[in-house]
Amino acid sequence: MTIEYPVAGRWTSGESSREVRSPFDDAVIAQIPSFSAADVDAAVEVAQTAMRQAPLATHERAAILDRAAVLLAERLEDIAADLAREAAKPIKQARVEVQRAVSTLQFCAAEARTFAGDLIPMDAAAAGVDHLGFVLRVPIGVVGAITPFNFPLNLVAHKIGPAIAAGCAVVNKPASQTPLSALALAKVLFEAGLPMEYLSVVPGPGSVIGDALVRNDDVEVISFTGSPEVGWSIRASAPRKRVGLELGNNSPLIIRADGDWRGAATAVRLAGFAHAGQSCISTQRILVEESIKDDFVAALVEQVGSLVVGDPLDEATEVSALIDRSNTDRVKSWIDAAVDGGATVAIGGEMTAEGHVRPTVLVDADPADDVCANEVFGPVVVVRGFTRFQDALAEANDTRYGLQAAIFTSDINTALHAARNLDFGGVLINEVPTWRADHMPYGGLRDSGNTREGPAWAIHEMTEERLVVIKVGPPQD
Ligand code: NAP
């Protein structure tokens, strides 16, 4: 039976449907509707009318978000199981994602209660004497949220949560492979009191549903998380909209001999391989001081060799399938090309019996190889050595991406030099570049994007600043 989705203020199963299949074993998981561009336009119209005719007070928005966080936590097991099925995310990691979405909603509720405008000291200008000025932050309008497959719940929460906090209605287009988590989030929000008109979830192809959102003049903001290719094409085709882009990375990790390199090897076990490396900040390029390189590679191989590869619903599994066959083939071909070019396989490099890429550590791949120069988005890390620290910084910075980078060192001066000179949106010290908390400013430079996410920053993008000036006359008597 086709699952119903909330579109334009009502539950509907559309006019046609399609199957969602497991990336792990191709089993049919769900039958979901196929919507059209006309459904998107209807959803936007209903959203805009709701904002105009039935605005939600701040205390209502905050209470909805708080209640939704409680409901999400109560349904953690069911939602994690759906997420594991649709994305092939190992169930233990799927549970962590649900917990993170709970905290994202809690942070959004807190921001809803506290974000405010500014008082402007008008009499700082001579002409401003006898004037009061302040800035109100008003909801910008309907938000179009286009989201990727790899965190299909928490990254949707990072857009819908701030939009509700800001007082905006939202139309979400989830990734085609992962439409179930977004639906689960919508259900808890409605149960928590969000009027249906405030949120539509419209699954369907990016080229149809995503494009319709981008083209709709009544959508004021597009909040997009996904690949640079799609993201920048959206930016180019919507010059009059606010377009926030959260894109990819090929995260570098520098390890100095004076740093806790054993701790780094342990951390990379999941930082490079959780969800088969399909995180925008998955650790990818590891630059290690030559004097410890062999020992570090040995420690990393031991860690990676202990990863359990298999069925996402198996409690023991830590790495499962990539999202689809074409990405599996792409990642394998990048590994093979690096090896043909002279890289050594320290571990992995081949497929499992079920046809999935084994966790792979490559040593000394050429910086121009795809596994270094581009975003692998697969279970592969590359280790390269360095002798001069300045060379490691230059190599880390030599990328079209700029999301997060990291360094392990025990020397405070080296750490602070790295913080100043690594040209990324975030620099982590004695922590992997894959680390993220849901209330921090998160975003990148260059091909990694043009904005910051995290409830406080996203709410800023979803509000307009309105200046109010009052001329103050003399008192009546
Ligand atoms: P993607 O292929 O760019 O897809 C992202 C979303 O855009 C999907 O919903 C997709 O729909 C939609 N889309 C595709 N073509 C479109 C078009 N022409 N117009 C409008 N929307 C369109 O990315 P992905 O493969 O899902 O995700 C992986 C990428 O996301 C990686 O590069 C990763 O680094 C990045 N990412 C970044 C962050 C961050 O916060 N910086 C977080 C997570 C992921 P369909 O599914 O229907 O194609």
Q: Which residue has the tokens 């198996």?
A: 314
Extract the tokens encoding 110.
């807190």
The pLDDT value recorded for residue 175 is: 98
Measured CA to CA in angstroms, residue 115 lies from 105, 137, 242 at distances of 15, 8, 20
Model confidence pLDDT, tens digit, residues 104-148: 999 999 999 999 999 999 999 999 999 999 999 999 999 999 999
241/270 same-domain check: no
248 within ligand 1 shell (Cβ under 6 A): yes
CB 30 within 8 A of CB 19: yes
pLDDT in tens, 278-315: 999 999 999 999 999 999 999 999 999 999 999 999 99
Token pair recorded at residue 71: 């409901």
* CATH label of the domain that carries residue 177: 3.40.605.10
Ordered alpha helix ranges (H), 122-170:
154-166
Q: Cβ distance 299 to 265 under 8 Å?
A: yes
436 in a structural domain: no
**DSSP E strand stretches across 269-359:** 285-289, 344-347
pLDDT tens for 375-398 read: 999 999 999 999 999 999 999 999
What is the C-alpha separation between 359 and 377, in angstroms, rounded? Answer: 12
Q: How far is the CA of 224 from the centre of ligand 1 (A)?
A: 8
At 109, which amino acid appears? A
For residues 196 and 286, membership in a common domain is answered with no
Q: State whether the beta carbon of 227 lies less than 6 angstroms from ligand 1.
A: yes
**Interval 406-432: pLDDT, tens:** 999 999 999 999 999 999 999 999 999
Q: Count how many domains the chain has.
A: 2
- Crossing angle for the helix pair 58-74 and 76-87, nearest 10 degrees? 80
pLDDT(465) > 90: yes
Looking at the domain assignment, is residue 477 inside a domain?
no
Q: Whose CA is nearest to atom 39 of ligand 1?
A: 246
Residue 372 known to be catalytic:
no
Q: Is 87 in the pocket of ligand 1 (CB under 6 A)?
A: no
DSSP 214: H
Residues 111 and 242 in one domain: yes
Give the domain CATH number at 337: 3.40.309.10
d(CA 104, CA 415): 30
Q: What is the mean pLDDT of residues 166-191?
A: 98
User: Does residue 441 belong to any structural domain of this protein?
Assistant: no
Residue 34: pLDDT over 90: yes
The reply to whether 220 and 284 lie within a common domain is: no
- Indicate whether 80 belongs to any domain: yes
| Side-by-side strand order, sheet with 199-201 | 199-201, 170-173, 142-146, 219-225, 242-246
Catalytic-labelled residue, pool 246, 289, 375, 453? 246
Residue 447 CB–ligand 1 contact under 6 Å: no
Counting residues of the chain whose pLDDT is more than 90, the rounded percentage is 100
Given 108, 168, 220, 280, which residue is catalytic? 280
The token duo for 125 is 């200008």
- Tell me if 146 CB under 6 Å of ligand 1: yes
Closest CA to 404 of 375, 364, 444: 444
Q: Is there an atom of ligand 1 within 6 Å of 206 CB?
A: yes
Within-domain flag for 69: yes
What pLDDT score was predicted for residue 477?
84
Instruction: Please state the rounded mean pLDDT for residues 137-166.
Output: 98
Ligand 1 centroid to Cα of residue 247, in Å, is 8
Q: Which pLDDT score is estimated for 258?
A: 98
For 241, the domain range is: 5-247+449-467
Token pair for 453: 């996410």
Q: Is residue 36 part of a domain?
A: yes
Q: Is there a single domain that holds both residue 119 and residue 206?
A: yes
Check if 191 is active-site. Answer: no
Residue 377 belongs to a domain: yes
Residue 273 and residue 349 in one domain: yes
Query: Measured in angstroms, how far is the CA atom of residue 307 from the centroid of ligand 1?
Result: 27
Phi, psi of 437 (to 5 degrees): -110, 150
Q: Are strands 360-363 and 344-347 parallel, antiparallel or unpaired?
A: antiparallel
Looking at the structure, do residues 202 and 288 belong to the same domain, yes or no? no
- Which of 187-192's residues contact partners 24+ apart within 8 Å by CB, and which partners? 188/68, 188/71, 188/72, 188/75, 189/64, 189/68, 189/160, 189/164, 190/6, 191/67, 191/68, 191/71, 192/63, 192/64, 192/65, 192/66, 192/67, 192/68, 192/70, 192/71
Helix 389-397 / helix 412-421 crossing angle, nearest 10 deg: 30
Residues 177 and 308 in one domain: no
Pick the residue whose CA is nearest to atom 42 on ligand 1: 280
Question: Residue 476 domain-assigned?
Answer: no
pLDDT of residue 364: 98
Task: Mark whether 299 and 192 lie in a shared domain.
Answer: no
Co-location of 205 and 271 in the same domain: no
Question: Based on the domain organization, do 338 and 312 belong to the same domain?
Answer: yes
* pLDDT tens per residue across span 82-105: 999 999 999 999 999 999 999 999
CA of 130 to the centre of ligand 1 (A): 52
CA atoms within 13 A on the CB side of 433: 35
For residues 280 and 356, state if they share a domain.
yes
Give the pLDDT confidence score for residue 382 in this predicted structure: 99
Rounded to an integer, the average pLDDT of 452-457 is 98
Arithmetic mean of pLDDT over the chain: 98
In the block, tokens 């995290």 appear at 454
- Give the model's pLDDT for residue 129: 97
Place of tokens 């009191």: 193
- The band of 351, judged by pLDDT with boundaries at 50, 70 and 90, is very high
**What is the Rg, in whole angstroms, of the alpha carbon atoms belonging to the chain?**
24
Measured distance CA(459)–CA(72) in Å, rounded: 21
Q: pLDDT value at position 66?
A: 98
